[in-house]
Structure 1
Amino acid sequence: MLMQYYPHPQHDYSYELNKDMNFSAAHFIPDEQAGKCAHMHGHTYVVNITIAGDTLDDTGFLVNFQKLKELVHKRYDHRILNDLEEFSGMNFPTTEVIAQVIWQRIENYLKTVPNQPSCLQILVRETPTSYVLYRPKKDENHG
């Protein structure tokens, strides 16, 4: 994967972890305002996850990279995103919503680990020229 440099949030944590990954998935935005994106189509999404914290776990990890891959790649790769529960109803799988949903999924996991790191941001690149950056408000995470 080509090394990418993305905007990073300011923080006072001792450790910052970034994980890049990609997954291929199809989606559609069922609204006439979406133009041709109202029709089923696919992307190879590139995701960057930024996690920070002050304490490492018993194995010396802030978070195990493999767990992040399981939470994102395993869930979304080669799927029709509209078929997944988290994108049901009016929560259409736009890039903005995908970024927020991935953040929530990771943050829910991080709340269960003893060293309590925080997911500071999720970047989702839908095309080579377009990406969305999701950063939670201070009161959304525990950091």
Structure 2
Amino acid sequence: MMLQQIYPSVNHPYAYELNKDFHFAAAHFVPADEAGKCRQLHGHTYYANVTVAGDELDTAGFLVNFAVIKRLIHDRFDHSLLNDDSESFNDKDPNRFPTTEVVARTICEIVQGHLDGTANRPQCVQVYLRETPTSYCIYRPKRKAGFDGS
């Protein structure tokens, strides 16, 4: 069971906002000398909050099914070595190292990839990813043209 937590809110123009909390256990290492101890293989229990927003509900009355968000991320990353997921991460491009920042962005990209295939097309507007009790990252994708109604 996760404790209730208040997350930083993201401004958006949508009528609905859905938040899904979940966690997953995964190992990683950061393949850069500047990473210090994090260059060594180690693991975390990551706590994530995914925020999806939109104006239209689907045929089930959902913005998106909570279970779908968890399945997309938890089933993919739980009890894995993130570095082995070559579709998401690699050890050549710093923008694809499995750092907290990149994992948060990747979660957003995976969720948005699913949402783009739905009829109501909601947007993943924020991913909050806690790596340790004292360290977390927030990723908010840049808004697309017309996102704010302009």
Please list every run of 5 or more consecutive structure 2 residues that lacks an aligned counterpart in the other structure. Answer: none
Q: Deviations over 1:82-115 (max 9, x none)?
A: 0001111321100000001110111111010001
TM score, norm. by length of structure 2: 0.91
Name 2:76's counterpart in structure 1. 75
**Take 2:126 and 2:78, find their aligned partners in 1: how far apart are those partners?**
20
Structure 1 runs of 4+ aligned residues shifted over 2 Å read 139-143
Alpha-carbon offset, residue 141 of structure 1: 9.9
**AA aligned opposite 2:11:** Q
The aligned residue for residue 120 of structure 1 is 125
TM-aligned CA deviation for residue 140 of structure 1: 8.3
Aligned residue in 1 for 2:60: 59
Q: Does 1:95 align with 2:100?
A: yes
CA distance in 2 between counterparts of 1:125 and 1:137 reads 21
Bigger shift: 84-93 or 33-42? 84-93
Secondary structure (helix, strand or coil) at the match of 1:34 reads helix
Residue 25 of structure 2 corresponds to residue 17 of structure 1: no
Instruction: Tell me the TM-score normalised to structure 1 length.
Output: 0.96
Alignment match, 2:5: 4
Rounded Cα–Cα distance in structure 1 between residues aligned with 2:21 and 2:146: 21
Q: Deviations for 1:26-81, whole angstroms, at most 9, x for unmatched residues? A: 00011111010000000000000000011110011110011101110000000000
Q: Structure 1 142/73 Cα, relative in aligned 2: closer, same or farther at 3 Å?
A: farther
Identical amino acids, percent of aligned pairs: 52
Q: Spell out, residue by residue over 1:95-138, the C-alpha distance to the aligned partner (whole angstroms, 9 max, x if none).
A: 00000111011111101000111000101100011100000111
Report the Cα distance in structure 2 between the residues aligned to 1:128 and 1:116, rounded to whole angstroms: 34
RMSD (Å) for aligned C-alpha atoms: 1.5
Q: Specify the alignment match of 2:137 in structure 1.
A: 132
1:13 positional shift? 1.0
Aligned to 2:115: 110
Report the alpha carbon displacement of residue 11 of structure 1 after superposing the two structures with TM. 1.5
Offset at residue 139 of structure 1 (A): 2.3
